[in-house]
Structure 1
Amino acid sequence: MKKRFSFFPGKMTVSFRKGPSGHLRQDPSEVAMELKRRPSPTFPAQSQEVVKANALAAIIQRGGDRTDKQEVMGEYVLQFGKYKGQTYRWLLENDIGYTIYLLNKVEQEESEGTFTPEGHSKESLLSFLDYAGTFKEIKDLQEYLKSRVPAEPVRSEGDNVVGFGVRAKDTWQKIWDTRADGYAAFILSARCVKNSKMYLLQQYLLKQQHTQKSQRPETPSPVADTLMMEEDEELEQEMLKLSPSKYAGPSDSVSSQAPVSSRTGSPRRSQMDYVLNPACVFVWPRSGLF
């Protein structure tokens, strides 16, 4: 007895968006982002009976397998949210992150006893979650996200771990302390996606760089030092020009020529004596040096 094969030229399967490592991408596609920016559809929600009938008609029209429940449900139209009017298959292909959010939200509300499965919108929501649960990729992703252990709180910002690249296990502080190797400069010059691990490390390095510049001591002005040195040199040159022979007679010293004070009876010193005699206090003469 020969085995019969069924051929469905219009059969369609979900084409998941995946990253370079093969994991499902959770970010919305460009088409999904455009729909999110638009106002939410306002047409009334349809019952699941109408939705199913329309899906079967679409399967027959394109030559799909109407006996394949997963394929039929892929043609169901969403009756809730920003993506209202799109098919179940479209949502899995364009926004896995939103799918995971819905799964976790309903589970939380059911555990708290706050979920109310009433109305066509809620019927459509539960129907979509049943459809998403038939895919192994969705189940594996949800279990993986639940199994992740939250990172331990750090004592300081510098204790955060890089978490990517060849220095994934190093702390932010170590990256800064060893910046002479050029890795910190590479991070500072990179174009990063906002709130990514590289972006957060880049912001930390920028703060450290700013703190270092603000703590650097100010260097004294070279102009002020130059002017002070020039004044000292001029004073020294003028002092070297002074000689006793310029102010004293050819045979008498300055002290013998000094007049006698009427009060004390001792020789009265002139103002120039204080300049020429090293034992006297240094006083500039009132009439200047010349």
Structure 2
Amino acid sequence: MQKKVAPYPGKISVVFRKGPLGYLLQDPSKEARRNKNDPKLQDKSAPVREDVVHQNALTVIYQRGGDESDMKEVQGEYILQFGKYKGKSFRWLLGNDVGYTMYLIKDLQKEEAAGTSVEEGHGKESLHSFVQYALSFTEIKTLLNYKTSRVSVAAEASEDDQLVGFGSRAKSTWKEIQESPFYEAERQRWVEEKRKKGRNC
């Protein structure tokens, strides 16, 4: 019986570090810590253009017998052109420091939302590509959604701690009001008071 040969014997996937319950570990791996703490291991060369990065990645894929038509696999071999892990592959970063990956995604999202991104160049190009690559993984999107929902829950909690600011219970917090057994009746009265207050302004 002839043995089946895989069409792409050198194909490599990201191996996420996970805890015993299956959640992604976000702290840096030992290798990542070593790289971060030892300046001699850090790449100090000038950033290169994305088309060069792409061509180099294709060469790596070809040499190891990977799938050159799989953009996700190709991008995994892209080399970072910025930050403390410059010189490492996109795939390496996802496998070694998910916490830093989340920081990069959120920081870029904040910049874009505020319209404050001024830095351009090959480093920024590389950052955009990496974020796009990271977000193509369900594990990263799930973690991002979880973190975003926790932030919105925390924001709602802080709103509950704010003072009402008007009416007979102006010095009570919204949380105290909601916990009151007379909440619904009082809420109706405050809505009315607020409406009158708005009319008299």
> Taking structure 1 as the reference length, what is the TM-score of the superposition?
0.50
1:32 aligns with 2:32: yes
Structure 1 position 15, deviation (Å): 0.4
Counterpart Cα distance in 2 of 1:107 and 1:68:
26
Which residue does the alignment assign to 1:76?
A: 78
The partner residue of 2:141 within 132, 139, 159 is: 139
Counterpart Cα distance in 2 of 1:64 and 1:116:
37
Counterpart Cα distance in 1 of 2:43 and 2:59:
23
Counterpart Cα distance in 2 of 1:18 and 1:62:
27
Counterpart Cα distance in 2 of 1:83 and 1:122:
14
Q: What's the Cα RMSD here?
A: 1.8
Which residue does the alignment assign to 1:112?
A: 114
Show CA shifts across 1:110-159 (max 9, x none). Answer: 11111135100000000101111110110000000110122958xxxxxx
Counterpart Cα distance in 2 of 1:41 and 1:60:
24
Matches within 5 A, 1:1-290: 7-39=7-39, 40-116=42-118, 118-148=120-150, 149-150=153-154
Query: Which structure has the bigger radius of gyration?
Result: 1
Counterpart Cα distance in 2 of 1:35 and 1:113:
32
Show CA shifts across 1:75-127 (max 9, x none). Answer: 00000001000000000000000000000001111111111351000000001
Counterpart Cα distance in 2 of 1:45 and 1:99:
19
Show CA shifts across 1:54-92 (max 9, x none). Answer: 000000000000000000000000000010000000000
> Taking structure 2 as the reference length, what is the TM-score of the superposition?
0.71
Counterpart Cα distance in 1 of 2:119 and 2:9:
37
SS of the aligned residue for 1:143 comes to helix
Residue identity opposite 1:126 in structure 2: H
Gaps of 5+ in 2: 159-201
Show CA shifts across 1:140-188 (max 9, x none). Answer: 00000110122958xxxxxxxxxxxxxxxxxxxxxxxxxxxxxxxxxxx
- Higher RCO (CA-CA < 8 Å; seq separation 6+): 2
Seq. identity, %: 53
Residue identity opposite 2:154 in structure 1: P
After TM superposition, what 4+ stretches of structure 1 lie above 3 angstroms from structure 2?
none
Counterpart Cα distance in 2 of 1:139 and 1:133:
6
Counterpart Cα distance in 2 of 1:109 and 1:72:
27
Show CA shifts across 1:226-266 (max 9, x none). Answer: xxxxxxxxxxxxxxxxxxxxxxxxxxxxxxxxxxxxxxxxx
Gaps of 5+ in 1: 154-290
Which residue does the alignment assign to 1:287?
A: none
Q: Is the 8 A contact 1:117 1:123 kept in 2?
A: no
Counterpart Cα distance in 1 of 2:148 and 2:135:
15
- Structure with bigger helix share is 2
Counterpart Cα distance in 2 of 1:132 and 1:42:
24
Q: Alignment length, in residue pairs?
A: 150
